[in-house]
Structure 1
């Protein structure tokens, strides 16, 4: 039995003394997804736990893909995206704890027949809202299809399965993606060619196919011969059934354009009257609301110690070096994360001192997280910065800085000119730099 996995009376399995594992929800080549109950939540809280076998992942050389999927899910926190809560690991398994979305796949709804136009529009609006947010964070999904769109208890759409997604660092020198991936019936024509492609534009083609499927009840490009189907995709050779309204047809026709340079963009979609009917963007989370939103995300919290980042074992046992960057939103940028051998309480005092020194107001200081906001208005409003402490070993903690609001260049300047000089006496090493000790 894996360490941190225990069997209770009645055959109940509990992992990390926190999640009671329930029934199997689904399985893939390398992973199984289970329903689980969070025993530490104030009330019964169901989650989905993806259990990944390390040996299978190693054999298939998919380590980087798993790390990328986790990094992306942590990066794209949106009401219409399945949220990641925590990553843990034992010697043999990786556990990814996610929101449990009990309504099933949107595909199951479509399989029963086409949707009414109002319902299809609502799901498409939520899809575009989620995709727009992903693109704003530099994430291309690359496998959008009804099977990867889940529905919650209130019938709201949640985008899932970021296993094929791409980040800016996956682009080649030409600024394009080159991996041919996705599901054939939903993939953009430029992805099928051997030239590079823009992942965001390719996602919008897939969105166009999804809208067609929701309204028609079947795929726009179908053929038992895959090559003939590809030919139809290259030419955008499809026909509308008579029940799809002229307004919806016009939008689909502007999405299913073979030339990605002529394909409608998200700003263009937002201006289309058919789309904008009843559309309201999700309300952004203000800095004051962040603590409640993030309280159970990513880490296990306790009153006496900072969050223990259980994924550390996952990284150190599967890749070389002490590199946490793949699982942190801002860890890829040198200067956004550092290790320290100081106590967590001492670091918290230092962070609050840093805020006062830099003329930032402490918005909240709770547990082992501090959010500070600049006094001056910047290019994109006031800069808000969050610093959070994670324990990765008995005498080592990681402090992660991230931008909550404001301009990215101003945030980087703050890290370089204020954070680094002010904290030099408590820093062991900055991410991407070699420690001067030992």
Structure 2
């Protein structure tokens, strides 16, 4: 794709015609998940199982993926219907279209997002400043999206955040999500869930209640410092073992002092430093990033189109992921009329689409 053009993935992702075709596809394959599994390829590892790209002529054209969940995790996974509702209301989350079961596993059918997670990008300090500011600004926006929906993500990590083909930041794996003010006791039945290296101190101190409404902000700070340095927060603070780190978090005054020292030593950009000092505060009430500070981020941040070609230049993994999606969708090199061309390529006939709309009218 030309760097001065908008990437058509966003148009593809949000196109109402595609949505109708996907709903038809999911309806036709309900109870037939084994048929889809025969044509799947591994894309990535999720919190509990693989994310699989659905292939085959029609499925490839629709840009869909499967995520699998072993049934033994059923008690801590957010209900799929709730995840599906969330995916409609949170722009950064992949759209979830349906769920099914086979061979002791649950599966959700979701959009495949072309791009890479933060671990697959170069360390942020190696990117131009405008790209770093954009990633920070979008990261704050993702926390805002979940809060606005009345939810906590509960597992924000570099693996669960990424950048898509349009240069937009995306959030993945809302498996552990809960209501914003819901205690871990109620949500997880006293089970320990999440990624310890990115947990907020209150997740440990307040046991069994655990996380609070500002815990995602701390996890986002821990994610961003890891993306900058390539090291997780416990290691940056000199704590290697999980149990040692949990014990360390109990002394919030000491932890706060050492976080402040570490950030001042590592982060030389004054704007990013101010953001991280906020997000990584051990007092949840101090984690708010003021509008003035967000304005400082926005004033120097790359727009999403520029972000896309910065990553195309700096990240071979990103460039490859986007190119593979373009080639798979048969759109490499095309600039105009993508949706028209795509509709001609889909294996779902117009007759089936008409039947689908008739069915909706009769519901």
TM range, smaller chain: 0.5 to 0.7
Flag the 1:201–1:185 CA change in 2: closer, same or farther, 3 A: same
Whole-Å separation in 2 of the counterparts to 1:304 and 1:198: 47
- Report what 2:234 is aligned to: 221
- Report what 2:278 is aligned to: 254
Whole-Å separation in 1 of the counterparts to 2:224 and 2:296: 12
1:181 equivalenced with 2:203 (yes/no): no
- 1:102 Cα deviation after fit: 2.8
TM-score (norm 1): 0.52
Whole-Å separation in 1 of the counterparts to 2:121 and 2:273: 21
1:119 equivalenced with 2:131 (yes/no): yes
Whole-Å separation in 2 of the counterparts to 1:173 and 1:213: 28
Q: For 1:70-219, what aligned pairs fall within 5 Å after superposition?
A: 70-77=81-88, 78-89=90-101, 93-110=105-122, 114-167=126-179, 170-171=182-183, 180-195=192-207, 196-197=209-210, 199-219=212-232
- 1:132 Cα deviation after fit: 0.9
Q: Residue 76 of structure 2 is aligned with which of 65, 70, 76?
A: 65
- 1:160 Cα deviation after fit: 0.4
- Report what 1:264 is aligned to: 287
Calculate the aligned-residue CA RMSD, in Å.
Answer: 4.0
Q: Residue 31 of structure 1 is aligned with which of 44, 49, 53?
A: 49
- 1:92 Cα deviation after fit: 5.2
Question: 1:70-96 CA deviation, whole Å, 9 max, x = no partner?
Answer: 513432433322221232345755331
- 1:28 Cα deviation after fit: 5.9
- 1:179 Cα deviation after fit: 6.2
- 1:126 Cα deviation after fit: 1.7
* Counterpart contact for 1:20–1:38, Cα < 8 Å: no
Whole-Å separation in 2 of the counterparts to 1:220 and 1:173: 26
* Counterpart contact for 2:68–2:107, Cα < 8 Å: yes
Q: SS at 1:200's partner residue?
A: coil
Note the residue ranges of structure 2 that are not aligned, 5 or more in a row.
1-29, 305-351
Q: SS at 1:303's partner residue?
A: helix
Which gives a bigger RCO, structure 1 or 2 (Cα 8 Å, sep 6+)? 2
Question: 1:119-154 CA deviation, whole Å, 9 max, x = no partner?
Answer: 222122222222211111111011101011132223
Flag the 1:190–1:179 CA change in 2: closer, same or farther, 3 A: farther
Question: 1:360-393 CA deviation, whole Å, 9 max, x = no partner?
Answer: xxxxxxx449xxxxxxxxxxxxxxxxxxx5xxxx
- 1:105 Cα deviation after fit: 1.6
Q: Residue 303 of structure 1 is aligned with which of 342, 351, 354?
A: 354
- 1:200 Cα deviation after fit: 2.9
Which protein has the bigger helix share? 2
Q: SS at 1:248's partner residue?
A: helix
Whole-Å separation in 1 of the counterparts to 2:77 and 2:214: 24
* Counterpart contact for 1:21–1:34, Cα < 8 Å: no
- 1:201 Cα deviation after fit: 0.4
TM-score (norm 2): 0.62
Whole-Å separation in 2 of the counterparts to 1:200 and 1:117: 30
- 1:99 Cα deviation after fit: 1.6
Which protein has the bigger strand share? 1
Q: SS at 1:221's partner residue?
A: helix
- Report what 2:39 is aligned to: 21
Whole-Å separation in 2 of the counterparts to 1:114 and 1:178: 41
Flag the 1:73–1:169 CA change in 2: closer, same or farther, 3 A: farther
Whole-Å separation in 2 of the counterparts to 1:244 and 1:126: 20
* Counterpart contact for 1:255–1:264, Cα < 8 Å: yes
Note the residue ranges of structure 1 that are not aligned, 5 or more in a row.
7-13, 283-300, 308-343, 345-366, 370-388, 390-438
- Report what 2:67 is aligned to: 50
* Counterpart contact for 1:51–1:95, Cα < 8 Å: yes
Q: For 1:224-243, what aligned pairs fall within 5 Å after superposition?
A: 224-230=240-246, 233=249, 234=252, 235-236=255-256, 237-238=258-259, 239-240=262-263, 241-242=265-266
Question: 1:340-373 CA deviation, whole Å, 9 max, x = no partner?
Answer: xxxx7xxxxxxxxxxxxxxxxxxxxxx449xxxx
- Report what 2:296 is aligned to: 274
- Report what 1:4 is aligned to: 32
Q: SS at 2:114's partner residue?
A: coil
Aligned residues: 274
